[in-house]
Amino acid sequence: MAEQDLTPIFQIQRVYLKDLSLEQPNSPAILLEQAQPQVDINLAVSAEPVGEGIYEVAVTATVTTRIGDKTLFLVEAKQAAIFEIRNLPQDQLSPVIGIACPGIVYPYLRATVADVITRAGFPPVHLTEVNFQAMYEAQMQARQAQEGAAPEGNGAALAS
């Protein structure tokens, strides 16, 4: 029975839309513009422990579309999920939270962003596939570089 208690557990408890915002600050006048809009997309991943072995992982996309210096529309969507993750070695927990979990959440975010933009009356913006492993590794390298530059005794800890 003791072996069963140490069996790794990875389960999705719930996937949900945590936050959604659409702004069209220059409508309706800007809708008459014929110029090609410039699209800027930013992604962020966050993770928070909710309880023992329970984590909320969220992926946020901010899509800003401009014509010249005026905003056509701005969409910010935060898709999240609650995961139960237990009995993993500590060195495996962080990559699971930083790579596997966002990979599960991201397709929901992609669909949400495309849908809200279409419902706003614009052609959909389809977010491209993301290599969360490369993103995670870049974040870890940046943290290590930052810790290396921090004065001794700072006590900075890696947080997922």
Backbone angles phi, psi at 105, to 5 degrees: -75, -35
CATH fold for domain 2-148? Bacterial Protein-export protein SecB (3.10.420)
Residues across the chain:
160
Nearest to 126 by CA among 141, 145, 143, 107: 107
Residue in this structure with the two tokens 């977010």, named with its chain if needed: 127
Tell me if 53 sits within 8 A of 61, measured CB to CB.
no
**Hey, what are 31's tokens?**
């809708």
Tell me if 105 sits within 8 A of 80, measured CB to CB.
yes
Helix %, strand %, coil % for the chain, to 5? 35, 40, 30
pTM assigned to the model: 0.83
**Hey, what are 109's tokens?**
């975010």
**H or E element: which one contains 126?**
none
pLDDT, one tens digit for every residue, the chain (160 residues): 455 578 999 999 999 999 999 999 999 998 888 889 999 999 999 999 999 999 999 999 999 999 999 999 999 999 999 999 999 998 899 999 999 999 999 999 999 999 999 999 998 899 999 999 999 999 889 888 888 775 554 443 333 3
**Distance, CA of 160 to CA of 158 (rounded, Å):** 7
Q: Is 94 exposed, middle or buried (0-12, 13-18, 19+ CB in 10 A)?
A: middle
Cα atoms in the Cβ-side hemisphere of radius 13 Å centred on 55: 25
